[in-house]
Amino acid sequence: MHIAWYNYIFAILAGILAGIINTLAGSGSAVTLPMLDLLGLSAPVANATNRVGVLIQNIVGIATFQRSGRMNLSGGLWLTIPAMLGSVVGAYVATLLDKEQMELAIGVMMVIVLITIFLNPSKWLRQHSEVKEGRPGWGTLGLFFLIGIYGGFIQAGVGVFLLTAMVLGAGYSLVHANAIKLMIVLALTVVAMVVFMLSPVRIDWGIGLLMAVGQSIGAWAAARFAVRVPNANVWVRRLLIVVVIYSILKFFGLLDLLLAQLG
């Protein structure tokens, strides 16, 4: 497959933007998947290849948080385990639903997330986590099992749901939640990549690693921003609002309709 040289530059730039969005909010796949399609990959191959960059950018993000001394993973393992179990269920469910049903489900969930962001600003902007030591309650574990189902069902937007659950449900600050979110998404991505590698779906490692370079740069820059910039919670919340509104327009088909009208 021949790819023009300038498309490699676009792939790296798209990766940088996706790395920033994924590290601070979520739904960076809304940037990378269209770029992979532009590079000529089929939808199944693009979906599998996209996980390469997600995997590497989360490793970079975690390492950057760790070096900053702000990588507080207290309670993170308890949340990761049910999410991973749920992802197995979600991957199976994804084989039973068509594209339209999936997009409708995502759109509805994004509307709910947007409402919660505006109704609970004080929780989103808290500077310190209010998490109790020890195992979270069964309700919290069940919530992350459901998010894991969604993550296995379709990866796009899972970071948004993880942040919402950790900030509003578990009592984390947004910066603390971002660190744990990276760990959970990393675990879910490993599970998904194993499934893809055992399936007939091909992973384009060359293009995946190329975009991963950009995503790693974006993840590094975003993690440094989150731990160094005063009032980072305010800026992350604003980015989250933009990402969620974009996702609502996309998954309800309103974005395509708007672009068609402008065209």
Q: For residues 135 and 77, is the Cβ–Cβ distance under 8 A?
A: no
* Segments forming the whole domain that contains residue 210: 5-262
In this predicted structure, the answer to whether residue 235 has a pLDDT above a threshold of 80 is: no
pLDDT by residue (tens digit) across 118-144? 765 555 555 555 555 556 678 878 888
Rounded Cα–Cα distance for residues 188 and 93 (Å): 16
Residue 78: pLDDT band with limits 50, 70, 90: confident
73: number of CA atoms within 13 Å, CB side? 14
DSSP three-state, residue 129: coil
Question: How high is the pLDDT of residue 149?
Answer: 84
Nearest CA-CA partner of 189 in 245, 151, 133: 151
DSSP three-state, residue 166: helix
Higher-pLDDT residue of 230 and 261 is 261
Q: For residues 230 and 175, is the Cβ–Cβ distance under 8 A?
A: no
Burial environment of residue 102 by CB neighbours within 10 A (0 to 12, 13 to 18, 19 or more): middle
Burial environment of residue 225 by CB neighbours within 10 A (0 to 12, 13 to 18, 19 or more): middle
Q: How many domains does the chain have?
A: 1
Find the range with the poorest average confidence among 27-31, 127-131, 241-245: 127-131
Q: For residues 18 and 28, is the Cβ–Cβ distance under 8 A?
A: yes
In this predicted structure, the answer to whether residue 71 has a pLDDT above a threshold of 80 is: no
Q: Which stretches of the chain are DSSP H helices?
A: 5-24, 29-38, 43-68, 76-94, 99-119, 121-124, 138-153, 158-164, 174-198, 205-228, 232-251, 254-262
Rounded Cα–Cα distance for residues 47 and 52 (Å): 10
pLDDT by residue (tens digit) across 142-159? 888 988 887 777 666 677
pLDDT by residue (tens digit) across 80-124? 888 888 888 877 776 566 657 666 766 776 677 677 667 655 555
Question: What's the whole-number average pLDDT of the chain?
Answer: 76
Question: How high is the pLDDT of residue 248?
Answer: 79
Letter for the amino acid at 140? Answer: T
pLDDT by residue (tens digit) across 160-199? 788 888 877 777 777 778 778 888 888 888 887 887 788 7
DSSP three-state, residue 89: helix
- Which residue's structure tokens are 């308890």? 78
